[in-house]
Amino acid sequence: MKIFVDQVKCQNHGLCAISSPDHFELDADGELRYQESFDEENIDEIEDAIDSCPLQAIALNRDSA
Amino acid sequence: MTGSAPLIGIVGSGIAGLRAANALLKCGVDARIVILGDEAHRTYSRPGLTKKRYPPPDGIEAATEGLKVPGVENTALTWHLDTRVETADLRDRVLRLSTGDTLAYDRLVIASGVRPRTSAEGDRECAVHAHRTLRGLDDARSIHQELQKSKKVTIAGAGFVACELASLAKEYGCEVVMLEALRHGPFERILGTTTARSLRSWIARNGVTFLTGDAARNMLCDGAGRLAKDASGSKDAYLEPASDRSLYIEAIGSVPNVEWLRGNGLDLSDGVRVDEYMRVSECEDVFAAGDIARYPDPWTSESHTRMEFWKNAIDTGDLAGKSLASSLGYDAKISRIKYFPNMVTEVFGLRIQIAGNPKISDSMEIVRGDLERPDHGVVVKYLREGAMVGAAYLDRGARLNSLYIELLTALRAR
Ligand SMILES: Cc1cc2nc3c(=O)[nH]c(=O)nc-3n(C[C@H](O)[C@H](O)[C@H](O)COP(=O)(O)OP(=O)(O)OC[C@H]3O[C@@H](n4cnc5c(N)ncnc54)[C@H](O)[C@@H]3O)c2cc1C
Ligand code: SF4
């Protein structure tokens, strides 16, 4: 399972980075950087990040390994 | 309970209603789940309505596509859209619908949200302005279309929706006037006067005429094409009807949609009061969630709070669904609400983040930066009796973002 952020929807608001700072962060220009892979044990944090995004830009791609 | 599988009615097809339904499904509840909504659309991203311009070529349809939320296609739910619940009889468990039908339920979730407050009731059209408010997708569609054509826009209010709209209107090339008669600038009630002033000058620097106090009061339109009374209380002045009616948008707060619940002995003074598990105390088979729910404030032990944020609607919706499942005997891990308020908006390229509950603070402290130059980055701490209760971050980029997240980690662990 991998994290996927829709760059067209994302407005770099950074709420995901507050929910899950280990997987999402904003760089100095305010652009979102994120890690696609994560450990299953962090799933709650990731789901919290997905819910936090007011633009609904984050999804989990269940098909990718 | 009627028959074997109970019927769960959810009033409101917004995110809180949808999340309550999803939580019920996740708990494996064997029930018919009916979502009733007076809008014609299934759940969509409401915050998305003011975040972006609708690009002209593909226009409205493409923009709508971007507002999709996960879970709306779920066929395990029964949707009654375009259907308003007119009244509820909570004792006999019956809803009376705008279609003329009734619906008998076994358990009820109240998720009917809020609507924009307006200064005048009834027909708000006047000869001078085209009056608008913004809550739903249909409102957004017409406002975006008018902004594309409009030259002059007046926005009453200086909250999130007002500021995002001002930013959007400028992007569409409109001339924008903002009116905030009661306060000194945006978000003053949350962030205090100093920060509000800083935001006001930021907006003014971006070409918006931002009026406060009497100057604003004298330009407010009460919907009858009449200027509101000035401070001295002298006679009303009437505006001349204009040939090109400018757009007048009111974004001055909201009113909970509770009218359909009247007559049931609930406390409806500001939304629907629930306990920390989203249960309506007066009726054991009724739950409430989202913008309408007033729950025990995890930030100040003595009071109840209502939050109008997307994540709050998600968290309280989930919890209402789980509490309901548990009331039916299902194993649902429920824990009392511990919502962490956390909000972001962008106004003329300035990112504004707010977390915790700065509203209850008694002092503030600049951690980094200068409120005179918010675009260079400012982090502010809000304190109550010396302890941090909230934080705010303004910046054009995200240079201080890690510092802000550090603060929030401390705030969360509080
Ligand atoms: C323009 C705008 C921008 C926003 N931006 C942000 C943001 O950036 N970040 C953020 O966190 N929050 C934002 N918000 C707030 C956020 O959208 C709300 O907190 C959230 O959508 C509330 O969800 P809800 O399900 O409680 O209520 P709603 O989404 O209001 O859903 C309630 C539904 O119930 C319907 N209804 C009401 N009465 C009845 C009845 N009697 N019968 C049937 N149906 C009924 C309503 O029409 C509505 O469709 C924004 C809001 C707006 C309007
Ligand atoms: S919260 Fe959403 S919009 Fe904001 S940076 Fe994360 S993905 Fe992008």
- Encode pLDDT of B70-125 as tens digits: 888 888 999 999 999 999 999 999 999 999 999 999 999 999 999 999 987 666 67
| CA-based nearest distance B153→chain A, Å | 25
CA distance B261 to B266: 8
CATH architecture of A2-61: 2-Layer Sandwich (3.30)
Question: CA B223, CA B113: separation in Å to the nearest integer?
Answer: 25
Comparing B226 with B133, which gets the higher pLDDT? B133
| Residue reference for tokens 């302890």 | B387
- Shortest-distance atom of ligand 2 to CA A15: 1
CA atoms within 13 A on the CB side of B351: 26
Taking CB atoms within 8 Å and a gap of at least 24, the contacts of B205-209 are B206/B167, B206/B170, B206/B348, B207/B170, B207/B176, B208/B166, B208/B170, B208/B176, B208/B177, B208/B178, B209/B176, B209/B177, B209/B178
Which A-chain residues 1-60 have CB contacts (< 8 A) with chain B?
8-9, 11-15, 17-18, 21, 25-31, 51-52, 54-56, 59
| B333 vs A contacts (CB less than 8 Å) | none
Q: What would the pLDDT profile of B337-357 be if each residue is shown by its tens digit?
A: 988 888 999 999 999 999 999
- What is the complex's ipTM, to 2 decimals? 0.85
Chain A residue numbers with beta carbons less than 8 Å from the beta carbon of B405 are 17-18, 21
Is the distance from the beta carbon of residue B17 to the nearest atom of ligand 1 less than 6 Å?
yes
Cβ(B134)–Cβ(B249) under 8 Å?
yes
Is B288's C-beta closer than 6 angstroms to any atom of ligand 1?
Answer: no
With a 6 Å cutoff on the Cβ, whether A59 touches ligand 2 is no
The residue whose CA is least distant from atom 4 of ligand 2 is A13
Which ligand is closest in space to the CA of residue A21? 2
Report the separation in Å between the CA atom of B75 and the middle of ligand 1, taken as the mean of its atom positions.
Answer: 23
User: Which are the contacts of A64, defined by CB distance < 8 A and separation ≥ 6?
Assistant: A1, A2
Cβ–Cβ contact B376 with A under 8 A: no
Task: Please check the confidence at residue B392 and state whether its pLDDT lies above 90.
Answer: yes
Reported as a pLDDT band with limits 50, 70 and 90, residue B233 is very low
Per-residue pLDDT tens over the stretch B202-230: 999 999 999 999 999 888 887 766 655 44
Whether ligand 1 lies within 6 angstroms of the CB of B41 is answered as no
Return the pLDDT at B61.
66
> Structural domains in chain B?
7-113+257-328 (3.50.50.60), 119-253 (3.50.50.60), 349-413 (3.30.390.30)
Between B62-71, B73-82, B227-236, B246-255, the lowest mean confidence (pLDDT) is in B227-236
Tokens 């929807």 correspond to A9
Whole-angstrom Cα distance, residue B327 to residue B398?
45
Q: Does ligand 2 come within 6 angstroms of the Cβ of A57? A: yes
Q: Which of B166, B66, B172, B395 is nearest to A12 (CA)?
A: B395
